[in-house]
Amino acid sequence: MQRIITLTVQNSSGVLNRVTGMLSKRGFNIESITVGSTDQEGISKMTIVVEMTDDKSAEQLTKQLHKQIDVLKVNDITDSKIVARELALIKVGASNTNRGEIQSIIEPFRARVLDVARNSLIIEVTGKTDKVNALIELLEPYGIKDLSRTGVTAFRRGQQKNVQDIKTLSV
C-alpha cells in the first residue's frame, strides 16, 4: 500500500537528511520524495510517497515525522481527495518513419515533444503516476534511451466531501 504524505518544513540545511534518515532508520521504503520552496520565505514543502504494509506503520510514520523539530506540519493525504502529479522526461528512439506514430501515441496523454534529434525525441509528460507509467509502457517498443521522473507532488483539494467514497481523484 502506497501512502502520500506532505510535509511543511523549515528550510534548514539538515532537514532533508533528518527526514530521509528517520525513514531509513525505521525501515520505511521511500518510493519518491520531492522538495521545493513555498511562497513563504524559509518554508519548504515535501511530498513523500512511501510503500508500507499496514495502517499502524502509517500512523507511526506520521508521528515520527511530526517529532522532528524542523517539521511544522504533517499530512497523510492518501485517503483525502487530492491532486497528485509527477513529471517525466523520456528520451525515446525515433526515426523519420515512426516520428508521426509516436506523436499520435503521446497526444492522448497531453504529453509534449521538447526536443527532436535525428534518431530520438525527448517527451515531457505530467500526470498521475499511473498515467506516466502507461505512457512509458507504450513508448518502450521504440527504445527508451533515458528516463527521468520527478516523483509525486500532491495537494489536498479545496473541497473535501465523501472522502470514503473516492480515495484519489485526479483530472
Among 63, 110, 156, 167, the residue binding another protein under the rule CB under 8 A is 63
Q: Residue 143 is placed in which grid cell?
A: 527504445
Distance CA 138, CA 90 (A): 12
Burial of 94 (0-12, 13-18, 19+ CB in 10 A): buried
10 contacts another protein (rule: CB under 8 A): yes
Assess 56 for contact with another protein (CB under 8 A). yes
Among 30, 31, 52, 64, binds another protein (CB under 8 A): 64
Contact 13, 68 (CB under 8 A): no
How many residues in the shown chain lie near another protein by CB under 8 A? 21
Check residue 168 for interaction with another protein (CB under 8 A).
no
60 binds another protein (CB under 8 A): yes
Supply the minimum distance, in Å, between the C-beta of residue 84 and another protein: 25
140/101 Cα distance (integer angstroms): 13
Name, in order, each residue with C-beta under 8 angstroms of 112's C-beta and a sequence gap of 6 or more: 106, 123, 124, 125
CA angle 29, 163, 134 (to 5 degrees): 50
25 interacts with another protein by CB under 8 A: yes
Task: Give the interface segment with another protein, choosing from 63-71, 88-96, 132-140, 158-166 (CB under 8 A).
Answer: 63-71
48, 71, 102, 105: which one binds another protein (CB under 8 A): 71
Binding site for another protein (CB under 8 A): 9-10, 13-14, 17-18, 21-22, 25, 56, 59-60, 63-64, 66-72
